[in-house]
């Protein structure tokens, strides 16, 4: 039975990873946001994997989806966006799973862990954007960091410096993207989990 359960877990994880890779390729821009800030729903399968199978499964989904996207579509951010996604793996999997376990591994615990994850990832995204990804993006384009800020100002006049970029772009974008992904993932998990449990009993 244990081997059958492990095989089912591997199969479902692989399916979720493949779905995440496809969803990551179906990204779209957001008005008033930098052109390299794009929303996709690729975190939805990761949320399902985390609560159904644990942190290792969720991490596999996250890594595989980045590889699928790079192989099938390539990068439109000089690999900076992909690096940001990889950094986000640890920020999502570790805190969310820890809080989920401590809160009781139920629906309420899942909701608490996801809300906490939005806050944690958004705060850290501010740091990563200011000191890692934005400087790397500017270097990859062969321009200065101020040039990147000015480029963004053309779509959002409220952004005039790096601080404005963080306040008016990084924070709202991450809250929006993560909020959508986590909300959809939460509701899908509850439904898929019921189906998976029935399949295991069959």
pLDDT tens track for 78-127: 677 677 777 778 888 989 999 999 999 888 999 999 999 999 999 988 98
| 178-192 per-position pLDDT tens digit | 999 999 999 998 887
Total number of domains constituting the chain: 1
Identify the residue whose tokens are 């040039």: 147
To the nearest 10 degrees (0 to 180), the angle between helices 80-102 and 107-128 is 150
Structure tokens at 42: 């690729």
50 close to 58: Cβ distance less than 8 angstroms = yes
What pTM was estimated for this model as a whole?
0.86
The DSSP line for 85-96 is HHHHHHHHHHHH
Domain that holds residue 155: 2-201
Distance CA 67, CA 23 (A): 13
123 close to 89: Cβ distance less than 8 angstroms = no
CATH code for the domain in which residue 51 is found: 1.10.1760.20
Strands (E), the chain: 28-29, 38-39
Structure tokens at 82: 């992909």
pLDDT of residue 57: 94
169 close to 30: Cβ distance less than 8 angstroms = no
Instruction: Return phi, psi of residue 28, to 5°.
Output: -140, 150
Distance CA 124, CA 87 (A): 10
Nearest partner of 82 among 124, 136, 157, judged by Cα = 136
pLDDT of residue 198: 61
Mean pLDDT of 16-26: 89
């Amino acid at each position: 039975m244990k081997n059958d359960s492990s095989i089912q877990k591997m199969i479902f994880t692989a399916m979720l990873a493949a779905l995440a890779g496809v969803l990551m390729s179906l990204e779209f821009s957001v008005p008033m946001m930098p052109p390299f800030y794009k929303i996709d729903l690729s975190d939805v399968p990761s949320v399902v994997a985390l609560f159904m199978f644990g942190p290792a499964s969720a991490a596999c989904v996250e890594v595989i989806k980045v590889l699928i996207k790079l192989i099938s579509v390539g990068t439109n951010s000089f690999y900076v966006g992909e690096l940001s996604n990889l950094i986000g793996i640890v920020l999502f999997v570790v805190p969310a799973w820890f809080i989920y376990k401590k809160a009781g591994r139920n629906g309420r615990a899942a909701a608490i862990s996801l809300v906490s994850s939005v806050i944690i990832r958004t705060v850290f995204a501010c740091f990563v954007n200011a000191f890692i990804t934005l400087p790397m993006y500017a270097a990859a384009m062969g321009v200065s960091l101020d040039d990147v800020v000015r480029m963004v100002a053309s779509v959002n006049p409220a952004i005039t410096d790096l601080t404005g970029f963080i306040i008016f772009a990084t924070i709202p974008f991450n809250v929006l993207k993560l909020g959508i992904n986590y909300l959809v993932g939460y509701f899908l998990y509850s439904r898929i989990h019921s189906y998976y449990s029935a399949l295991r009993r069959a």
